[in-house]
Chain A
Amino acid sequence: MATAAVTEVSAARGRSSTTLRVDRGGAFDAPTRERIVVQRLSAYFGTKCAVKDVSMHVLDNRVTAIIGPSGCGKSTFLRCLNRMHETVGGATATGSVLLDGHDIFGAKVNPAAIRKHVGMVFQKPTPFPTMSIRDNVAAGLAVMSPRPSRGDVDAIVERALRRAALWDEVKDRLHMPATGISGGQQQRLCIARALATDPEVLLLDEPTASLDPISTQAVEELVYELRREVAVVIVTHNMQQAARVSDSTAFFMLGEMVEFAATAQLFTAPADPRTEAYITGRFG
């Protein structure tokens, strides 16, 4: 159902759209549930409020997109979901984020543990420059408990690279420095690194913003596929991208969540006039 809508939206808007060569069955129709429930979340930098009173949820085996003009709080919201927000000096958040029913802001919760379950990939590729391609992918394994044995690591690295659709390109140079591959490959390497530890949720903050069109397409296809295994939240300011890869979309403006709906519906029949103004290109 939504598949058709996605194609329709793109076609109707007369822009070039990537044809997704992926199997539309399987994970897409799999039963799902709420992985993350966000209740009345507000996030601050000092006294400046960057995210205001947002409530939404993230479904397992689905891609949730967050769109909105630059500076509207998309990244800040995303970084609240794995408690990266608080690593900025003076940053605080109120409200609650429930991960499988557990409040991640709970008093006894270790933020590092949350981040092992909620992986994240940033706008710019961030391979660790001192490590080889293999060691980059294996980097997260070092903090897993129990820690995988040496023999398992190679298998896990291969699997993660395959999931990130990078294996064929790098399998012959696993021991080369990770900074020696192209930007698009580096970004997929970062996705592989995030996937290696088998997180339940994957957060992507404008993962294609610094990539060329071909790499962008590779990453988009990857995101589309990833929903078989994890819940994906992707921030993008590219509406076509949201339309192509996501199942539901939240539209943010000035720190507030204006609308949250199935992607097809948000793009074809937005309920809020501000959403309509944004998706028809009147601002942003």
Chain B
Amino acid sequence: MKMSEAIAGMPTPPAGAPMRPSVRQREAAARTSRTLVRRRIVNNIMVALLTLSAVIATLPLLFILFHLAKSGLSSLSIDFFIKDPKSVGESGGGMANAIIGTLIVVSVGCAIGLPIGVGAGLFVSEQKHTRLATVVRFLADVLNGLPSIVMGIFAWQFLVRPVGHFSAIAGGIALAAMLVPMVTRTTEEMVALVPHALREAALALGYSRARTGLVIVLRTAMGGIVTGALVAVARIAGETAPLLFTALGNQFRSFSLSKPIAALPLQIFQYAVSPYEDWHAQAWAGALVLIAMVLTISIVARVATTSHGDGGSD
């Protein structure tokens, strides 16, 4: 579209333009119907492009889920859930060790990360006008944006290097370090939705601030906090990078916190980059199980959010 047409196409003269009908404006009037058609066409093209981008953007998800289902289901069996890996060359075996390992490492992460995150979030919203609260809120955002591999380096430097061996507890702490800032922010947001009037009502009953915070505010916000925490847990459950330096992985079943331990994402990675067909099939099955875990948690969380929806905000 040429500049003159662009101007003619404008419904009103630009501010400050003289109101006398100029030659250009008379020409414009003559062309109005033509430019109108043109503008409609541009509009329709843009709508088509935007719709197309929505279609393209959803395709990868569908492809990934399709391939996971196709390749994963065919390698999935009961053995996968109850057997440990066989050594290279032998067929069969499963990833029970990794499933157990993921549960252990994620539990350790939650046990450490959730209370700290909820407590910090409670502080940030209860004392929101203090300087510390502002700083904590900002730093939580900063931490949320850091690559997860950095959390692995941190746990490795402080928990693996000094003791000289990898451990489940180091993996759990690396995951906890990811959990803390996420849960801090969620808790803060959810607590902020609790009406101030409820706090006042509790205080007016003679409740201490502590009791008000824990029994009234936290309990009222709990639905939302659980939702946010579930999303965060789903995310750490799928993390691999921080575990490379901490939990390391283990071909055998381990329940010890002080020994290297397997984890589903780690094992998927190791099998995927291996040269063995058998292991590739196992990796697909593992990925299917992992994604089922993660998506179930995310979807449960999301459905829970939609059902208590905007109700928490007034």
Contact = CB atoms under 8 A, between A and B. Distances in A.
**A and B co-occur in one complex:** yes
Contacts of A89: 129
A184 to B, nearest CB: 17
Contact of A120 (B129, B204, B211, B222): B204
A129 B220 contact: yes
Contacts of B207: 112, 143
A143 B206 contact: yes
Contacts of A120: 204
A193 B201 CA distance: 10
B312 to A, nearest CB: 9
A122 B204 CA distance: 10
A96 to B, nearest CB: 21
Interface in A165-189: none
A130 B220 contact: yes
B201 A122 contact: yes
Q: Chain B interface secondary structure, helix, strand, loop or mixed? A: helix
B79 interface: no
A200 B286 CA distance: 66
A124 B216 CA distance: 17
A128 interface: yes
B273 interface: no
A119 B220 contact: no
B204 A115 contact: yes
Given A115-B203, A193-B205, A128 B197 contact: no
Given A113-B206, A193-B205, A194-B205, A126 B200 contact: yes
A197 B205 contact: yes
A87 interface: yes
Interface string B180-222: 0000000000000001011011111111100100011001101
B198 A143 contact: no
Nearest to A190: B201
Contacts of B200: 84, 87, 122, 126
A202 to B, nearest CB: 11
Contacts of B206: 112-113, 115-116, 140, 143, 197
A139 B197 CA distance: 16
A124 B195 CA distance: 11
A140 B205 CA distance: 6
Nearest to A144: B206
Interface string B203-244: 111111001000110011010000000000000000000000
A241 interface: no
Interface residues of A, number: 24
Given A89-B129, A112-B208, A143-B208, A126 B203 contact: no
Query: By CB atoms of chain B within 10 A, which of A115, A120, A130, A194 has the most?
Result: A130
A124 B197 contact: yes
A130 B208 contact: no
B197 A119 contact: no
A42 interface: no
A82 interface: yes
Interface in A48-85: 82, 84
Contacts of A122: 197, 200-201, 204
B197 to A, nearest CB: 5
Contacts of B201: 122, 126, 128, 190
A119 B205 contact: yes
A197 B208 CA distance: 15
Contacts of B202: 128, 139
B205 A126 contact: no
Given A84-B203, A89-B129, A115-B203, A126 B197 contact: yes
Nearest to A117: B206
B216 A128 contact: yes
A126 B208 contact: no
A207 to B, nearest CB: 13
Contacts of A113: 206
Contacts of A82: 204
Contacts of B204: 82, 84, 115, 119-120, 122, 194
A122 B202 CA distance: 11
Interface in B145-202: 195, 197-198, 200-202
A130 B197 contact: no
Given A129-B220, A130-B220, A143 B205 contact: yes
A195 B168 CA distance: 54
B204 to A, nearest CB: 4
A116 B215 CA distance: 17
B91 to A, nearest CB: 54
Interface in A1-25: none
A194 B204 CA distance: 9
A84 B197 CA distance: 12
Interface of B: 129, 195, 197-198, 200-208, 211, 215-216, 219-220, 222
Q: Pick the 4 closest A-B CB pairs, nearest first.
A: A116-B206, A126-B201, A120-B204, A140-B205
Given A115-B205, A197-B206, 11 more contacts: A84-B203, A89-B129, A112-B203, A112-B206, A115-B203, A115-B204, A119-B204, A122-B201, A130-B216, A142-B211, A143-B207
14 contacts: A84-B203, A84-B204, A87-B203, A112-B206, A122-B200, A126-B197, A128-B198, A130-B220, A130-B222, A142-B215, A143-B205, A190-B201, A194-B205, A197-B205
